[in-house]
């Protein structure tokens, strides 16, 4: 992309993308925001743009990969 150009994208998040490990994989219910930043070291809102939102209505646990 060129500077100043924008595009729409589709980002597919699977269960591993929204899970964390605690004796099993955990997916918590709730509202989430998708943000893009130049690096993971940026502050909570510094240079980040909210690109999307999604909700997980019912949390669950799972095992394996």
Residue spans of the domains in the chain: they are 15-62
Cα separation, 38 vs 36, in Å, equals 7
Whether 14 has a pLDDT exceeding 70, the answer reads yes
Q: What pLDDT score was predicted for residue 59?
A: 96
pLDDT tens figures, 16-43: 999 999 999 999 999 998 877 777 676 5
- Report the DSSP pairing between strands 30-36 and 49-56: antiparallel
Q: What pLDDT score was predicted for residue 45?
A: 59
Whether 51 has a pLDDT exceeding 70, the answer reads yes
| More confident call, 48 vs 19 | 19
Q: What pLDDT score was predicted for residue 42?
A: 66
Cα separation, 30 vs 42, in Å, equals 24
């Amino acid at each position: 992309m060129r500077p100043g150009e924008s595009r729409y994208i589709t980002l597919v998040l699977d269960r591993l993308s929204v899970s964390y490990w605690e004796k099993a994989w955990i997916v918590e219910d709730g509202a989430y925001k998708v943000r893009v930043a130049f690096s993971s070291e940026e502050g909570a809102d510094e240079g980040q743009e909210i690109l999307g939102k999604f909700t997980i209505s019912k949390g669950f646990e799972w095992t394996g990969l």
